[in-house]
Structure 1
Amino acid sequence: MTWTVIDSPVGELRIVARDGALTQIEFSPFRDSDGRPRGDRDDTDPVLVEAVRQLRDYFAGDLKDFDLPLAPTGSAWQQAVWEQLTLIGYGETASYGQIAARLGKSNAASRAVGLANGSNPIPIVIPCHRVIGANGTLTGYAGGLDRKQALLSLEQQETALF
């Protein structure tokens, strides 16, 4: 496992790769119990270099679709939810209930969608920030609601220009 850290408009991000694929993006403060990440820092790993480039372009408003090899770890249900998140377009939002319906589940599965959404290990690239409450309100975000609002505002500002 290798990692790097970049500054972003939503704070420092630690980007982690393993076996040629992106596995995590973590918001600062990072979750390590001892304060030190596992693996080695490697600012030359090709996956990390490309992830950094694409994230910088995203934050500059020059990239709307990420094209990175992804390997998030999770259950089959989580994987299915995360796949649906990648289908929510830049500047768009979907509710938890809409994601449940896309997975062939009733609105009652909204909570399970929310739990899977909250455990997304690759935020921003797998755009869990684009999922909102049924009434249009911002609801939980592992990175904090301020970051969720900042990401949505960035995307909505960019789409409003065109």
Structure 2
Amino acid sequence: MKELLTSTFDTPLGPMVTMAERQGLVLLEFADRPALPAEKHELQTRYGYAILPGRTPHHDQIEQELAAYFACTLQQFTVPLVTPGSSFQIRVWNALRAVPYGTTSTYGELAVTIGAQPSASRAIGGANGQNRIAIVVPCHRVIGADGSLTGYGGGKHRKEKLLRLERAAKFDGPPAEQVSLF
């Protein structure tokens, strides 16, 4: 079994759980995400990870990068990622990472990006929902075709705040008063 070391840290949007192996970050989720127990179970049973308390340099890196992200001084994460999943999921997650900071995409647009029909938006939504690396693989940047905020595993209230943070930083520069965003 491969070791997956886990720790928790605080962010402006609440505590987050990090899990990393030697090669990179495997999971970054809000601690209160309802799907977190199922994600842990899948990592153990399907992907052969033994989840243990501890830290790697990837834990330190993601904490530093997220602090810079929330301070509006980082737009591109560089922490190495390990994303076990199906080939379809990995294509969707890679397409998510290509959605530019401060912008949004729809499920149909993502389908076209990966070479699928726009009608594959439900499948895209499913893969989007199975993303285990919140914020870094920016599933919060996907909205409904009508512009509405659709579901987000970390909660729609967080999705709205993440999008507001990115828009403010991109179009207005770093906010003078961070508290106004959170």
Question: Which TM-score applies when normalising by structure 1?
Answer: 0.92
What runs of 5+ residues in structure 1 fail to find an aligned partner?
A: none
CA RMSD of aligned residues (A): 1.5
**Which secondary structure does the structure 2 equivalent of 1:4 belong to?**
strand
* Counterpart position of 1:119: 130
- Greater share of residues in helix: 2
Of residues 135, 148, 152 in structure 2, which corresponds to 1:137? 148
* Counterpart position of 2:12: 9
Q: How far, CA to CA, are the matches of 1:28 and 1:153 in structure 2?
A: 22
Task: State the Cα distance separating 1:65 from its structure 2 match.
Answer: 0.2
What runs of 5+ residues in structure 2 fail to find an aligned partner?
A: 39-49, 174-182
* Counterpart position of 2:60: 49
* Counterpart position of 1:25: 28
* Counterpart position of 2:89: 78
**Which secondary structure does the structure 1 equivalent of 2:85 belong to?**
coil
Q: How far, CA to CA, are the matches of 1:29 and 1:86 in structure 2?
A: 23
Q: How far, CA to CA, are the matches of 1:83 and 1:29 in structure 2?
A: 25
Runs of 4+ in 1 over 3 A off after TM superposition: 30-33
Task: State the Cα distance separating 1:32 from its structure 2 match.
Answer: 4.0
- Percent pairwise identity: 39
Of residues 48, 52, 64 in structure 1, which corresponds to 2:75? 64
Amino acid paired to 1:72: T
Matches within 5 A, 1:90-109: 90-109=101-120
Q: How far, CA to CA, are the matches of 1:61 and 1:3 in structure 2?
A: 26
Q: How many residues align?
A: 157
Q: Which moved more, 1:114-123 or 1:5-14?
A: 5-14
> Is the counterpart of residue 147 in structure 1 residue 150 in structure 2?
no
> Is the counterpart of residue 40 in structure 1 residue 49 in structure 2?
no
